[in-house]
C-alpha cells in the first residue's frame, strides 16, 4: 500500500497544492474518520494536519476491506489485518487487528494442529459429516452414534469409545476423520494412527531410541484412533507389550480409544490369538481374551456395510 508521500509524488508535475487539498478533503470526508473525530473532540486541527498520512492509510486500507478480494489477495499493509486509529502523545497511530477472514483462517490452522496423525491420507484429515451423508445417505444411524460420541466424549472422565468394523473401503477411516474434525471444534485433541505402520515404527524405534517417546505420545493422546487394527502382522510383542499396555493405560486414565477394523470383535480376538509363532497356546488365548475384554467393555460397536468406495 502506497503512503500518502508516494501519492503526492505523482502530483509534483503540476497542481500539487490543489491536488493535495482535494486528497486531504477526501480523507476528512471519509465517514469512518469523521465518526472517529466526532467521538474525540479534543483532537486539534494541527494534530489532524500532522497525522494526515496515518488517516490516509486508515481510509485506504478500510476501502480495501469494504471491497475485500479475499484473504489470499488482501492488499493491506499487513495481509489479513485491519487498521485501528489511536492517538499516542498527541499523534495519530495505527494499530492492526485480524479481520474476520484472517481469524477464520487462524482458527482452521489451530484446529488442524489439534489433529495429529501418523500415516493417514491427507483427504481423511479434511473429512466432514456432510460428505459422509452425501456419499452414504443410508448411514444415518452410524452417523448418529458417531455424533453421540462427539457430544459426550470427555477425556479423563469418560473413556468410552467406538469400535467401527466393516469390509474394506466402506468409509470407516473417513468417518473417524470426520469425528476428529468435529472434536477439534470442541478443542479436543485427537491422534489418528494407522496401526500396521505405527507398530512397525515402534519396532524400529527400539534401535534408534525413539520407542518410548513415541509410545508415550500415543498412550496419552486425549482421543486416540487406531485405524485398521488387525491388519498388522501379529506377534507376542505387539499384542502384549504394545497393544495390551496401551489399552490398559488408556482404560485406567479414562482416555477414549476408537478403532477401525475389517474384523468384527470375534475375528479380532482370533487374530490376536494366533501370533507369528503359529499354533494355538492357552496363554495366547488368555492374553487375547484379556485385551478383547477391554475393547468390548470400553467401546460401542459400529457395524458399517456398503460398497467399496475405492473401486
What CATH topology corresponds to 114-303?
A: Rossmann fold (3.40.50)
The pLDDT value recorded for residue 123 is: 81
99: three-class secondary structure by DSSP: coil
Indicate the Cα dihedral angle 109, 110, 113, 115, nearest 10°. -100
Q: C-alpha dihedral over 234, 240, 243, 246, to 10 degrees?
A: -170
According to the model, what pLDDT value does residue 128 have?
86
pLDDT at 278: 58
Task: For residues 300 and 34, give the distance between their C-alpha atoms in angstroms, rounded to a whole number.
Answer: 62
> Could you tell me how far CA 261 lies from the centroid of its own chain?
24
What does the alpha-carbon distance between residue 301 and residue 149 come to, in Å, rounded to a whole number? 12
- What is the pTM (predicted TM-score) of this model? 0.70
Q: C-alpha cell of 124?
A: 481423511
CA 27 to each of CA 59, 97, 302: distance values in angstroms, whole numbers, following the listed order? 7, 21, 64
Provide Rg for the chain, Cα atoms.
30
d(CA 164, CA 93): 57
For residue 68, the model assigns a pLDDT of 94
Alpha helices, H only, the chain: 4-9, 16-28, 31-39, 45-50, 52-66, 100-113, 122-125, 129-135, 140-152, 172-185, 195-208, 211-219, 236, 245-253, 265-273, 282-298
pLDDT along the chain (311 residues), means of 10: 54 65 88 93 91 92 95 93 93 94 86 74 83 67 92 94 92 92 90 90 84 88 95 89 93 96 94 70 86 94 80 60
Phi, psi of 115 (to 5 degrees): -110, 110
Nine cell digits for residue 193:
494412527
Asked if 223 and 129 touch (Cβ cutoff 8 Å), the reply is no
Q: How far is CA 285 from CA 111, 240, 251, 291, in A?
A: 42, 12, 21, 10
- Which pLDDT value is given to residue 251? 95
Question: What are the residue boundaries of the structural domains of the chain, listed by start?
Answer: 4-102, 114-303
Query: What is the pLDDT, as a whole number, of residue 311?
Result: 60
Amino acid at each position: 500500500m502506497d503512503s500518502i508521500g508516494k501519492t503526492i509524488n505523482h502530483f509534483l508535475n503540476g497542481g500539487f497544492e490543489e491536488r493535495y487539498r482535494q486528497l486531504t478533503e477526501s480523507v476528512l470526508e471519509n465517514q469512518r474518520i469523521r465518526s472517529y473525530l466526532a467521538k474525540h473532540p479534543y483532537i486539534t486541527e494541527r494534530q489532524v494536519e500532522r497525522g494526515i498520512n496515518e488517516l490516509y492509510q486508515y481510509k485506504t486500507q478500510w476501502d480495501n476491506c469494504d471491497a475485500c478480494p479475499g484473504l489470499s489477495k488482501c492488499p493491506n499493509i499487513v495481509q489479513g489485518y485491519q487498521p485501528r486509529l489511536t492517538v499516542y502523545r498527541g499523534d495519530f497511530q495505527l494499530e492492526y487487528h485480524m479481520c474476520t477472514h484472517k481469524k477464520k483462517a487462524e482458527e482452521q490452522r489451530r484446529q488442524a494442529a489439534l489433529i495429529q496423525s501418523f500415516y493417514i491420507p491427507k483427504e481423511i484429515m479434511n473429512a466432514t459429516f456432510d460428505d459422509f451423508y452425501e456419499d452414504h445417505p443410508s448411514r444415518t444411524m452410524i452417523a448418529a452414534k458417531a455424533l453421540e460420541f462427539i457430544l459426550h466424549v470427555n477425556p479423563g472422565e469418560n473413556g468410552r469409545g467406538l469400535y467401527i468394523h466393516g469390509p474394506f473401503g466402506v468409509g470407516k477411516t473417513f468417518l473417524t476423520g470426520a469425528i476428529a474434525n468435529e472434536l477439534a471444534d470442541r478443542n479436543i485433541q485427537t491422534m489418528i494412527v494407522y496401526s500396521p505402520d505405527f507398530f512397525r515404527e515402534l519396532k524400529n524405534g527400539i534401535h534408534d531410541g525413539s520407542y518410548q517417546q513415541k509410545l508415550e505420545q500415543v498412550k496419552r493422546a486425549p482421543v486416540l484412533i487406531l485405524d485398521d487394527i488387525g491388519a498388522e502382522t501379529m506377534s507376542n510383542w505387539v499384542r502384549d507389550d504394545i497393544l495390551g499396555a496401551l489399552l490398559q493405560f488408556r482404560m485406567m486414565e479414562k482416555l477414549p480409544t476408537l478403532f477401525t477394523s475389517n474384523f468384527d470383535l470375534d475375528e479380532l480376538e482370533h487374530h490376536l490369538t494366533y501370533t507369528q509363532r503359529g499354533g494355538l497356546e492357552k496363554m495366547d488365548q488368555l492374553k487375547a481374551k484379556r485385551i478383547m475384554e477391554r475393547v468390548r467393555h470400553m467401546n460401542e460397536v459400529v457395524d458399517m456395510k456398503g460398497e467399496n468406495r475405492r473401486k
